[in-house]
Amino acid sequence: MTDKRLAEGPIRVALLGCGVVGSSVATMLTTHAADLAARVGRPLELVGIAVRRAGKDRSELPVDPALFTTDAAELVTRADVVIEVIGGIDPARDLILSALKHGASVVTANKALLAEDGPTLYAAADAAGADLYYEAAVAGAIPILRPIRESLAGDDVRKVLGIVNGTTNFVLDKMDTTGAGFAEVVEEAQALGYAEADPTADVEGFDAAAKAAILASLAFHTRVSSADVHREGITEVTAADIQAAKDMDCVVKLLAICEKTGEGDDVGVSVRVHPAMIPRSHPLASVREAYNAVFVEAAAAGELMFYGKGAGGDPTASAVLGDVVAVARHKVGGGRGPGESAYADLPVRAMGQARTRYHISLDVADRPGVLAQVATAFAEHDVSIETVRQQITDNGRANLIVVTHTAPDAALSATVDALAALDIVTAVTSVMRVEGS
């Protein structure tokens, strides 16, 4: 039944956080108020904006200065919809739980919290009969969670391949176009404002891993937390790796890979973040600079790609406001929208069980029997070779490039260790997984 007060008055919206995203949300709520009211069926009334520092000059924002408060805990008790864009685990978690307990629906962009402790929040939303929406948590403006949760609800999603971190895509793209090394490009990215002063969360893959956990949970109806995600960042990617990819007509991307593996009773999920070579002909290869994209493979739909801006105030606010309109409509009409589900409860496989392909570049001695020894190392680990290319270099040495067929990651990794230990191998110059072909 529709709440009587809601049927008569505006929907009260509280905003927690007024940084880059919060400022855009506050501005859009104010300047688009008439359209939002028409779309929701009731006006959205911004009843407060929780900030850390009360005295800061925010005169550029088109909102009543009286709305700013440092008492977020009190604010969440007097709202119908709470927007959380503070980020981080604490105090965001307690504020969201309190908001839900007080009957508010919550819209959040907090990927770290959802990936670490999503089930606590989903359970609280269920108990309260409230919505918990988080489209902005993955890939900024790109509508990807609602399509996976709702549009593909009748299909069987097999794989999600995402470029979900703009900072690392910018860095890898620059390395590809300029031939520069990682450290040099990160400095440039920092100067341009693409990378944070401390870029760890991005370049070590933590941000992408949180997003992978959220994508996999929705795609496979299974609880996946950031601790379940195998994570490798891009700090070890060298100019030699980028050149090796170019030589293969490939490009290196940091991918969030969520995959259903096995058949019948043996189905599981593999969720991982690591750099990988993809062919330049793959749609994800054309994702340049700081853009994001998510490529979805579903049994009936086939291949789908979602592309756009993955960060920034206005793009992220667009996703937040889309969720605000959705949950506000549910408040007006009564009931809740579709939430996450974990009914499939599939096992999350260890990285060693993931089936991948490797590109391996080796410096070897150029003499009889070398190729045979290299081939034996692959055969002994039950890894099948797809292609081998040899280039003679200086001083009786050769560069061997081997691309494998698909094999368990543990077998591929053990093969690389065995190759590195061979006397005839001077150096393993590049090892990179291959995806998308």
The footprint of ligand HSE (CB under 6 A) covers 165-167, 202, 207, 310-311
What is the closest distance, in whole angstroms, from the C-beta atom of residue 209 to ligand HSE in the complex? 11
- Rounded to a whole number of angstroms, the minimum distance from the CB of residue 202 to ligand HSE is 5
Closer CB to ligand HSE, residue 190 or residue 429?
Answer: 190
Least distance (Å) between residue 395 CB and ligand HSE: 43
Judged by CB, which is closer to ligand HSE: 289, or 386? 289
CB of residue 290 to ligand HSE, shortest distance in Å = 7
Which residue carries 């919206």 as its tokens? Answer: 13
Minimum gap (Å) between residue 70 Cβ and ligand HSE: 25
Distance, C-alpha 235 to centroid of its chain: 18
Smaller CB separation from ligand HSE, 112 or 364: 112
Q: Whole-number minimum distance, CB 167 to ligand HSE, in Å?
A: 3
Of the two residues 96 and 139, which places its CB atom closer to ligand HSE in the complex?
A: 139
* CB nearer to ligand HSE: pick between 165 and 361: 165
Name the token pair of 132: 């918990």
Q: Of 164 and 351, which has the nearer Cβ to ligand HSE?
A: 164
Q: Is the dihedral angle over the CA atoms 255, 169, 308, 110 positive or is it negative?
A: positive
Catalytic residue among 4, 111, 174, 211: 211
Nearer to ligand HSE, 173 or 202 (CB): 202
Query: How near is the Cβ of 347 to ligand HSE at its closest, in Å?
Result: 28
3-state secondary structure the chain: CCCHHHHHCCEEEEEECCCHHHHHHHHHHHHCHHHHHHHHCCCEEEEEEECCCCCCCCCCCCCCHHHEECCHHHHHHHCCEEEECCCCCCCHHHHHHHHHHCCCEEEECCHHHHHHHHHHHHHHHHHHCCCEECHHHCCCCCCCHHHHHHHCCCCCEEEEEEECCHHHHHHHHHHHHHCCCHHHHHHHHHHCCCCCCCCHHHHCCHHHHHHHHHHHHHHHCCCCCHHHCEECCCCCCCHHHHHHHHHCCEEEEEEEEEEEECCHHHCEEEEEEEEEEEECCCHHHHCCCCEEEEEEEECCCEEEEEEEECCCHHHHHHHHHHHHHHHHHHHHHCCCCCCCCCCCCCCECCHHHCEEEEEEEEEEECCCCHHHHHHHHHHHCCCCEEEEEEEECCCCEEEEEEEECCEEHHHHHHHHHHHHCCCCEEEEEEEEEECCC
| Minimum distance of ligand HSE from residue 225's CB (angstroms) | 17
**CA torsion 320→322→326→329, rounded to 10°?**
110
Q: Is 173 or 207 the residue whose CB approaches ligand HSE more closely? A: 207
**56 in catalytic set:** no
Q: Which residues are catalytic?
A: 211
